[in-house]
Chain A
Amino acid sequence: MVTLRNLLAAALVLGIYSLVMAALWVVLDAVDVAFTEAAVGAGVTTVFMLLAIAATGRHEKIAHRRPWLPILASLAVGGLLIYGTLDLPGFGDPEAPAQQHVAPHYLEQGEAETGVPNIVTAVLASYRGFDTLGEVTVIFTAGIGVLLMLGIVRRRRAGAGDDDDDTGERE
């Protein structure tokens, strides 16, 4: 995927990546994340990618230049990450600190306090509802931002009367 010069192919490989990730999320019990990955990966990302590639050109013209700096940077980050994971609790350890402090409260009290058996939804919408408000704001920012940057053409085919669309006209 990194070496594919054909952008269309690269975008498709991103789709495969998303599919495999979705399966992985299910295996790791993160069904809500899997659901999101499924909806986003299958529904919108590929379409957006293809539309953008249609607008910008299909082939990557230039080979990767100066490959040493990026390799160095990713090695540095990767090395630091590996160093950092050395003393993280092992995979699936129920005694890990992450499983001890606040998470039990969600799992034990969550349904009683919110009336929602899906704890992910309970935490998402209630305990950390403000994060989710932020999340909606991010999406909203993206939508308004895309409008502000590209606008939406009002094709003039339908007649001059339609020219007053003020969602951002483009010449």
Chain B
Amino acid sequence: MIATHLPVLQVAVPLIAAPICVLLRRGSYAWIFTTVICWGLLAIAALLLDQVMSGGAISYRLGGWEPPIGIEYRLDGVNAFVLLILAGTAALMMPYARQSVEREVRPERRHLFYAIFLLALTGLLGITATGDVFNIYVFLEISSLASYVLIAQGTRRRARTASFQYLIIGTIGASLILVGVGFLYAKTGTLNIADLAVRVPALGETPAVLAAFAFITVGVLIKLALFPFHMWLPNAYAYAPSMVSAFLAATATKVGAYMLLRFVFTVFGVHFAFETMPLTEILLALSLIAVLAGSLVAVFQSDLKRLLAFSSVGQIGYLGVGIGLASVTGVTGALVHIFNHALMKGGLFLAAGTIAYRLGATDLSALHGLGRRMPFTMAAVVIGGLGLVGVPITSGFVSKWYLVQAAFEQDLWPVALFVLAGSLIALAYVGRVIEAAYFRPPPPDSEPVQEAPWAMQLSTWALIAGSVYFGLHTDLTVGIAERAATVLLAGAP
């Protein structure tokens, strides 16, 4: 009985939990409650993925109305996989949250913080699960508003300006998506994705569809923070509270990538997007610039969190490369990278947060000699960093392997070269961190530093260990991703 309602529970449970969280009044209760909810969501996501893998796509009619009339939740391999990533990272980060939030948020506001966190999660899950374009907009705004608020909670004042900048850019992006959806509605009379997937290609290349495509793509790219729409990302991630940086880095841009996949492959169709419109060329160009520029800028950062944020800009480029190649291998690579990058970047931001928790700063100069003083945390940073580079046996290697392979399939060897170059640059910035932590003596007058609390270690290591595990055992992720990619590209020639 419950099993049939799982799709909506995935979104409704955190939505209902958020006001309850506010009513709990005490930060500690709210934390326990949020943790339970997040693990419950992970269980739901796992069950859903299992259902989808064994029984094919699930459709859930909200309000009991038939799809084009009412709103539909439609789960196939792609969004079930993304749902698992979202719920999984949220659940794994919860043990970390308690101490980190206690440090960074005032006691009387903690329960509100957790409520907003749950709302952000609701929004992201809602975007992923829904099969209705306008519903995507609504949940996009829930997650965005919650993110603005979460980012503004950073202890430094620049968090507020970063959040404001994100608010302006994010709202413009969402409005552009809204215009695009409006054009599609005016031409087809429907908002349901499955219905649009039938009706939009039948329209052919009319100006309205072209404009809708352009607006939606740009809007989604803003949310995805692909170069040159990444302006909001570095500051937002660098100055947000540790927990928020980690959560958003692991999830928000991933959902952006999911939206891009959904709109481009399902709504507009491969034929329109990649043959009529020069999306491959545009995406590849932007992505490769993102990979190189993001990584290069990261090398010159003096703050660990900013370094990681710029590295995110680069890593998002890899997602763009995979999607732009528009082949099963490429999309598989992108999907696997969504998963792997969520683990690695989440783990790295958590580790950076741990360092901030103990040292009060994340400057690279503050990291000197930290390899000996916080050995476990720094080991996590190193392993995660190597994952970003794409060293074999880390999961970063797997996704890049698929991307390179996809590039060679289409004889686009310069793309492969760029991907490898990006890895080398990544080696440079990871090297800087390692150098600071292991090869520089600690400042002579430094106070003794303790290793971080075990609960924070636990979350960090769970994510980092996951990234290693899925680097070795690729069957699970790649298997699911490949099936999902096949579904997405089903309409392709």
Task: Spell out A's residues near B (CB within 8 Å).
Answer: 77, 80-81, 83-89, 96-103, 105-106, 126-131, 133-135, 137-138, 140-142, 144-145, 147-149, 151, 165-169
- Report which of A83, A84, A86, A129 forms a contact with B62, defined as CB distance below 8 A: A129
Are the C-beta atoms of A127 and B112 separated by less than 8 Å? no
- Report which of A83, A101, A140, A142 forms a contact with B68, defined as CB distance below 8 A: A101
Considering only residues 130-170 of chain B, those with a C-beta below 8 Å from chain A are 134-135, 138-139, 141-142, 145-146, 148-149, 152-153
In the bound assembly, the distance between CA atoms of A103 and B116 in angstroms comes to: 35
Considering only residues 274-332 of chain B, those with a C-beta below 8 Å from chain A are none
Are the C-beta atoms of B189 and A101 separated by less than 8 Å? yes
Contact (A84, B207) CB under 8 Å given A101-B189, A127-B69, A134-B135: yes
Considering only residues 1-55 of chain B, those with a C-beta below 8 Å from chain A are 15, 18-19, 22, 25
Are the C-beta atoms of A148 and B112 separated by less than 8 Å? yes
Sample (28) of A-B pairs whose CB atoms are under 8 Å apart: A83-B211, A84-B207, A86-B208, A89-B186, A98-B186, A98-B189, A101-B189, A102-B68, A102-B69, A105-B69, A127-B69, A127-B70, A129-B63, A130-B63, A134-B142, A135-B138, A138-B141, A141-B119, A141-B142, A141-B149, A144-B18, A147-B112, A148-B153, A151-B109, A168-B106, A168-B108, A169-B106, A169-B108
In the bound assembly, the distance between CA atoms of A126 and B62 in angstroms comes to: 10
Say yes or no for B115: interface residue by CB 8 A criterion: yes
Contact (A80, B112) CB under 8 Å given A131-B138, A141-B149: no
Given contacts A84-B210, A128-B134, A148-B153, 19 further A-B contacts (CB under 8 A): A87-B208, A97-B186, A102-B189, A127-B69, A128-B71, A129-B63, A130-B135, A131-B135, A134-B126, A134-B135, A138-B138, A141-B145, A141-B146, A141-B149, A145-B149, A148-B113, A149-B152, A168-B108, A168-B112
Are the C-beta atoms of B70 and A128 separated by less than 8 Å? yes
Say yes or no for B183: interface residue by CB 8 A criterion: yes
In the bound assembly, the distance between CA atoms of A15 and B68 in angstroms comes to: 37
Q: How would you classify the secondary structure of chain A's contact residues: helix, strand, loop or mixed?
A: helix
Are the C-beta atoms of A88 and B126 separated by less than 8 Å? no
- Report which of B65, B115, B208 forms a contact with A88, defined as CB distance below 8 A: B208
Smallest Cβ-Cβ distance to B187: which chain A residue: A97
| Nearest 7 interchain pairs by C-beta | A84-B211, A101-B189, A145-B149, A134-B138, A97-B189, A166-B108, A130-B62
Are the C-beta atoms of A137 and B71 separated by less than 8 Å? no
Query: How many residue-residue contacts, CB under 8 A, span A and B?
Result: 135
Complex interface: chain A residues within 8 A of B210 (CB): 83-84
B56 → chain A closest CB, angstroms: 23
Smallest Cβ-Cβ distance to A135: which chain B residue: B138
In the bound assembly, the distance between CA atoms of A145 and B143 in angstroms comes to: 12
- B 195-235 to A, binary, CB cutoff 8 A, 1 in contact else 0: 10000000000111011101100000000000000000000
Say yes or no for B420: interface residue by CB 8 A criterion: no
Are the C-beta atoms of B215 and A80 separated by less than 8 Å? yes
A163 → chain B closest CB, angstroms: 10
In the bound assembly, the distance between CA atoms of A168 and B142 in angstroms comes to: 22
Are the C-beta atoms of A88 and B187 separated by less than 8 Å? yes
**Size of the chain B interface, CB-CB below 8 angstroms:** 52
In the bound assembly, the distance between CA atoms of A135 and B140 in angstroms comes to: 11
Are the C-beta atoms of B189 and A131 separated by less than 8 Å? no
Say yes or no for B188: interface residue by CB 8 A criterion: yes
Considering only residues 89-117 of chain B, those with a C-beta below 8 Å from chain A are 106, 108-109, 112-113, 115-116
Are the C-beta atoms of A103 and B189 separated by less than 8 Å? yes
B364 → chain A closest CB, angstroms: 31
Say yes or no for B340: interface residue by CB 8 A criterion: no
Are the C-beta atoms of A149 and B149 separated by less than 8 Å? yes
In the bound assembly, the distance between CA atoms of A151 and B68 in angstroms comes to: 43
A151 → chain B closest CB, angstroms: 7
Are the C-beta atoms of B19 and A80 separated by less than 8 Å? no
Smallest Cβ-Cβ distance to B179: which chain A residue: A81
In the bound assembly, the distance between CA atoms of A97 and B202 in angstroms comes to: 13
Complex interface: chain A residues within 8 A of B109 (CB): 147-148, 151, 168
B268 → chain A closest CB, angstroms: 14
In the bound assembly, the distance between CA atoms of A84 and B18 in angstroms comes to: 40
Complex interface: chain A residues within 8 A of B145 (CB): 138, 141-142, 145
Are the C-beta atoms of A83 and B207 separated by less than 8 Å? yes
Smallest Cβ-Cβ distance to B143: which chain A residue: A141
In the bound assembly, the distance between CA atoms of A168 and B149 in angstroms comes to: 14
A43 → chain B closest CB, angstroms: 21
Say yes or no for B185: interface residue by CB 8 A criterion: yes
Complex interface: chain B residues within 8 A of A84 (CB): 183, 207-208, 210-212, 215
B200 → chain A closest CB, angstroms: 11
Are the C-beta atoms of B211 and A144 separated by less than 8 Å? no
Smallest Cβ-Cβ distance to A137: which chain B residue: B142
Are the C-beta atoms of B134 and A137 separated by less than 8 Å? no
B227 → chain A closest CB, angstroms: 17
In the bound assembly, the distance between CA atoms of A77 and B232 in angstroms comes to: 20
In the bound assembly, the distance between CA atoms of A146 and B179 in angstroms comes to: 28
- Report which of B25, B142, B206 forms a contact with A87, defined as CB distance below 8 A: B206
Say yes or no for B190: interface residue by CB 8 A criterion: yes
Smallest Cβ-Cβ distance to A136: which chain B residue: B15
Complex interface: chain A residues within 8 A of B362 (CB): none
- B 69-85 to A, binary, CB cutoff 8 A, 1 in contact else 0: 11100000000000000
Say yes or no for B122: interface residue by CB 8 A criterion: yes
Smallest Cβ-Cβ distance to A128: which chain B residue: B71
Complex interface: chain A residues within 8 A of B69 (CB): 102, 105-106, 127
